[in-house]
Amino acid sequence: MIERVKGTRDFLPEDMAKRRWVFEKIREVFEAYGFKEILTPVMEYTKLFQLRSGEEVVKQLYAFKDKGGRDVSLRPDMTSSVARLYVNSFQMAPKPIKWYYIANMFRYEEPQSGRYREFWQAGVELIGSDKVEADAEVIALFVESYLSTGLRDFTVNIGDRILLDEFAGMLGVSDDIGLMRIIDKRDKLSQEEFINLLKEFGLGESEIEKVLELVEIKGRPDNVLPLAEELFKSKKAKEEISKLYKLTDLLEWYGVKDWIRIDLGIARGFDYYTSIVFEAISPNELGIGSIGGGGRYDNLIEIFGGKPTPATGFAIGIERLLPILEWKGLIPKPQTGPEVFVIPLKDMEKVAINIAVKLRREKIKTDIELSGRKLGKALDYANRVGAKLVIIVGKRDVERGVVTIRDMESGEQYNVSLNEIVDKVKNLLKR
């Protein structure tokens, strides 16, 4: 017996049916918003991720040397690959570019509950607009993606890296990234631990007061944006706050404002975000935090050698979202058994195959007894795999021009003439 690779999973038919249900819901919304599907290779040269990423991501890369001695990594997310593709081939294309993907990502860290080495994301990138209208379009789509799965009980919490930068400046902190990292962790810490970390970082009491004031700017935009106006004095900060007001108006017009919260303590892990960032949270008892997130990254394309080009996007973590949808009972129970199971009795194989061919042409999921089992055992199999209907093809019946159709749920049996099988089956399956 050879084990699966550590930290990976197999997806069985029921898993796949559920995953495809979620993917197709999200895909429909992505396409309705005018995003177009792309896919990049699973592997990239490791330096691509080193160029842009926070140290956490690089440490957790699924990196290795290929047979040619090149440093290669399985992608930890799609944004770098998309930016690489844009720089290499799409700088001259009409802007904005709107791309989406549904793909597997990889990381190498000690596997723990809900953290797999191979995991899936559905996401979009909008490249070539620095307008707040582009942020609004992407955030509205982010909300609509969750809504498409039936989820209602969630919020999209919006932060702003420019305001965090300005805040670090106000406090006279030069290591703004260091400060952001601490602020980003606050939800995982007690108030006391949080304050201790800020002290260790070198902040005095009045600065810590300010930090506590900042992380309280958290709630519905109409309630908390006025607080931000009080806290921030600089022109740059004031401009950014106006942008957040405009964003809020736009999201109201998109009809998604109910799900929007401002949370100025949000920084997001990646260092490459430049202004508006956001993440989605859905309250749950499964210990699942963020179910997706994104933000604006106006410098990344330049870092990769392209002409400076603004961009924004998000990724939805399927392994985060799916358990919540299941827990809430939002995913329809998948039908993984065949709709029809055809059992040929003695010498009736040819007729049975004929029936199966006709049903399959109508896209009816049809299975056929292939192992030469007798009726009792074949019925038992049909029952165990969850077939809805069984068609029994017996010689005497066929000589009279009929077969027997059994509804496995109700137990009802019908004698159906050979040329009415397809209609009767559709009727019984309510198609």
Residues 307-336 that bind a second copy (CB under 8 A): 336
For a second copy, the closer CB: 134 or 266: 134
* Token pair recorded at residue 198: 């800020």
- Does position 23 interact with a second copy (CB under 8 A)? The reply is no
Strands (E), 84-229: 97-106, 118-127, 155-160, 218-219
* Token pair recorded at residue 193: 């631990």
For a second copy, the closer CB: 15 or 176: 15
Q: Which stretch binds a second copy (CB under 8 A): 28-36, 172-180, 272-280, 402-410?
A: 28-36
For a second copy, the closer CB: 77 or 137: 137
Amino acid at position 202, single letter: G
Q: Determine which residue in the list 5, 329, 346, 409 makes contact with a second copy, applying CB under 8 A.
A: 5
- Does position 37 interact with a second copy (CB under 8 A)? The reply is yes
- Does position 55 interact with a second copy (CB under 8 A)? The reply is no
- Does position 350 interact with a second copy (CB under 8 A)? The reply is yes
CA–CA separation, 166 and 208 (whole Å): 16
Q: Determine which residue in the list 150, 178, 226, 255 makes contact with a second copy, applying CB under 8 A.
A: 255
Name beta bridge partners: 37: 100
Residue 184: enclosing H or E segment and its boundaries?
Answer: helix 176-184
Nearest distance, CB of residue 9 and a second copy, angstroms? 7
CA atoms within 13 A on the CB side of 31: 9
Nearest distance, CB of residue 8 and a second copy, angstroms? 4
Q: Which residue has the tokens 């990239």?
A: 44
**Burial class of residue 343 (count of CB atoms within 10 Å of its CB; 0-12, 13-18, 19+):** buried
**Of 392-411, which residues contact a second copy (CB under 8 A)?**
none
- Does position 345 interact with a second copy (CB under 8 A)? The reply is no
Q: Which residues fall within 8 angstroms of residue 101, CB to CB, at 6 or more apart?
A: 37, 38, 39, 40, 78, 82, 121, 122, 123, 124
**Of 185-224, which residues contact a second copy (CB under 8 A)?**
none
Name beta bridge partners: 121: 103, 317
* Total residues interacting with a second copy, rule: CB under 8 A: 97
CA–CA separation, 134 and 145 (whole Å): 16
DSSP 3-state of 141: helix
Q: Which stretch binds a second copy (CB under 8 A): 33-41, 161-169, 224-232, 233-241?
A: 33-41
Nearest distance, CB of residue 385 and a second copy, angstroms? 6
Residue 342: enclosing H or E segment and its boundaries?
Answer: strand 340-344
**Contact, 187 vs 159, CB < 8 A?**
no
Residues 231, 237, 241, CA angle at the centre, nearest 5°? 85
**Of 274-313, which residues contact a second copy (CB under 8 A)?**
304-306
Q: Determine which residue in the list 21, 114, 131, 238 makes contact with a second copy, applying CB under 8 A.
A: 131
Q: Determine which residue in the list 125, 137, 207, 240 makes contact with a second copy, applying CB under 8 A.
A: 137
**Contact characters 67-106, a second copy, x per CB under 8 A:** xx-x-x-x------x--xx-xxx----xxx-xx----x-x
Q: Determine which residue in the list 10, 192, 200, 399 makes contact with a second copy, applying CB under 8 A.
A: 10
Q: Which stretch binds a second copy (CB under 8 A): 166-174, 202-210, 358-366, 391-399?
A: 358-366
- Does position 426 interact with a second copy (CB under 8 A)? The reply is no
**Of 141-160, which residues contact a second copy (CB under 8 A)?**
144
CA–CA separation, 75 and 328 (whole Å): 31
CA–CA separation, 114 and 74 (whole Å): 19
Nearest distance, CB of residue 214 and a second copy, angstroms? 30
